[in-house]
Structure 1
Amino acid sequence: MSATFPVRIARSTLVGTARALLSLRAIDLPPPATVPRIFVANHVSHADFVTLWSALPKPQRLRTRPVAGADYWQASRLRGWIANQVFRAVLIDRDPARRSADPVETVAQVLRGGEDVIFFPEGTRNLTDMALLPLKSGIFHLAHAAPRAEIVPAWIVNLDRILPKGAFVPVPLNCAVRFGAPLRPRAGETRDDFLQRLAGAMLALSGREG
């Protein structure tokens, strides 16, 4: 279904603002694939998925849906409209007691339908001095629930310095999204080994060791 005029304007405005305000660029984005993709990235800000989404070329952007916390994006009507209409986000309730569906299966259905997703495997924003929090098991289970999908590691560079916690005025620094080579779980690979390998691929893009 084609987007309405207000949605198209909102998307164009958000992408243009992100690229201009952050001097945003994509580095080493893999060429288009014939299989769904799970873009996995570090998570330091509520602006992360907007940044990664805006860094993608338009054809890729329009088929890519961020996975995000329902508690934040449904906190107001405006946020809800942005999440649901502009980004077509896959909203997940982080409180297990309120969930009506398995979140892994919800995201896997999107991938089986041929669309891509943006996924933050740390499970929450990283507000520590660590480069990357320990990855949660959700990405491992998602990879097995949608085995055709390939996982593309990414690293959002400088966003935590451009928009530090509590700041409303961005610091003038360049922001980039670095992408790595796609990967999948290996035959017989354990959950812990896979998560360690994925974390290593992400950290290699950051230039840090954790």
Structure 2
Amino acid sequence: MTSRTTGPVVGVLARRGLAWARRSPTTRLRRALQAGVVRPLLVSQVQTDVGGLEELPPDHRPVLLVANHASHLDIPLLLESLPEPYRERTGVAVIPGTALNSLVKTIASSVVFNTVPLRGDVCRDLLRTGWSVLVFGEPSRSRDGFVGEFTTDAAQVAIERQVPVIPVGIRGSFAAMPRGRNRPVLGWPGGGRFGPAGRTRPRVSVRFGSALQPEPGETAAGFTARINRAVKDLIVEDTTTWWQSLRHPEAVAPAPPAGSWRRIWEQSQSAEPGGQARKRRIWS
């Protein structure tokens, strides 16, 4: 099939929301691929430190997961961090033209990660039918590892559907696999922290924050700003403590000037362990 003919096919698949990827036998195949390929590969290449899972509703109600985006690792890292009931019923909303820019990529990403077009109607349908949706706040991967401005897509859907937003802060994925690389850096097979010659697998932190609800009369722009702040606080929290991140979030981790070599250098360093556990949140 030529590129001239694949374009319309991809468009038809995207317009239908890739619903076939959420039906059996595709879901069974996805479960097998994630358990047999994705998970072992991640374990061999990076150390994943997950925190805040208690912030997810215990009844597994649909939520919008909104995270920062710095690496191709972000999707598998976040999905593998989720408890199984959420992992198996979460769609990953991506901008058409990225993971959905060819027939092969569309099918592969939909089968393995359940990607869907980042469109309001698709996200609303998923939430209405009991699926959660992962949305990356930034329109593309960060070029220097720092969190950029968020689009209002997730906030608009949350306001329309009145669903909770779970902010997610991902720290260390840029250092593990920055933009332009097709595999993680210094990854070595094996379950231990150290590989050959004493090299380590990069540490990546995935932190889930307290649920955010749109307030009465709140605009999408205003809600987006709150989500963006919550994600940044989670990243700062991983470097210090929850209490310090609340008191002085910018003083704890001030960002170097935009576009400077210091930004890229700082985010290229492995994310050292830090922070402390949160108290369990009780859902009503």
TM-score, normalization by structure 2: 0.63
Give yes or no for contact 1:68–1:91 (8 Å, CA) kept in 2. yes
Give the Cα separation in 2 of the matches to 1:105 and 1:175: 33
Query: Could you say which residue in structure 2 is the equivalent of 1:63?
Result: 89
The corresponding residue for 1:153 is: 167
Shift, 1:34, TM fit: 4.6
1:97 alignment partner in structure 2: none
Give the AA of the match of 1:138.
D
Deviation track 1:44-81 (CA, whole Å, cap 9, x = no partner) reads 12231121111112221001111113323234554323
Query: Aligned ranges for residues 86-165 of structure 1 at < 5 Å?
Result: 86-92=112-118, 103-128=119-144, 131-147=146-162, 149-165=163-179
State the match for 2:219 in structure 1. Answer: 190
1:16 has 2:16 as partner: no
Structure 1 residues 206 and 71: CA distance shift in structure 2, 3 A:
same
Task: Tell me how far 1:183 sits from its aligned partner.
Answer: 0.8
- Taking a change above 3 Å as real, the CA distance of residues 166 and 63 of structure 1, as seen in their structure-2 partners, is same
Tell me which residue corresponds to 1:41. Answer: 67
3-state DSSP class of the match of 2:133?
Answer: strand
SS at match of 1:70: coil
Identity of aligned residues (%): 26
Q: Report how far residue 6 of structure 1 moved.
A: 4.4
Cα offset, 1:188, TM superposition: 2.0
Q: Aligned pair count?
A: 198
Given that 1:7 and 1:86 are in contact with CA atoms closer than 8 Å, whether structure 2 keeps it comes out as: yes
Aligned to 1:202: 231
Q: Is the Cα contact below 8 Å between 1:68 and 1:89 reproduced in 2?
A: yes
Query: What is the root-mean-square deviation of aligned Cα atoms in Å?
Result: 2.1
1:83/1:89 contact within 8 Å kept: yes
Q: Name the amino acid aligned to 1:26.
A: V
**Structure 2: unaligned runs, 5 residues or longer:** 1-22, 186-200, 237-252, 256-284
User: Which amino acid in structure 1 is aligned with residue 34 of structure 2?
Assistant: R
TM superposition shift of 1:15 = 2.2
Which of the pair has the greater relative contact order for Cα pairs under 8 Å at 6+ separation? 1
Contact 1:43 1:122 in 2 (8 A): yes
Q: Is the 8 A contact 2:29 2:111 kept in 1?
A: no
Q: 1:56 to 1:168 in 2, by over 3 A?
A: same
* Bigger mean CA deviation after superposition, 77-86 or 152-161: 77-86
Tell me: CA distance 1:69–1:46, structure 2 relative to 1, closer, same or farther (3 Å).
Answer: farther
* Structure 1 contact 19–54 (Cα < 8 Å) conserved: no
Is residue 2:52 matched to residue 1:28?
Answer: yes
SS in 1 for 2:203: coil
- 1:53 maps to which residue? 79
1:72 to 84, 92, 98: 98
Deviation, structure 1 residue 89: 1.4
Gaps of 5+ in 1: 93-102
Are 1:38 and 1:152, in contact at CA under 8 Å, matched by a contact in 2? Answer: yes
TM-score, scaled to structure 1: 0.84
Structure number with larger C-alpha Rg: 2
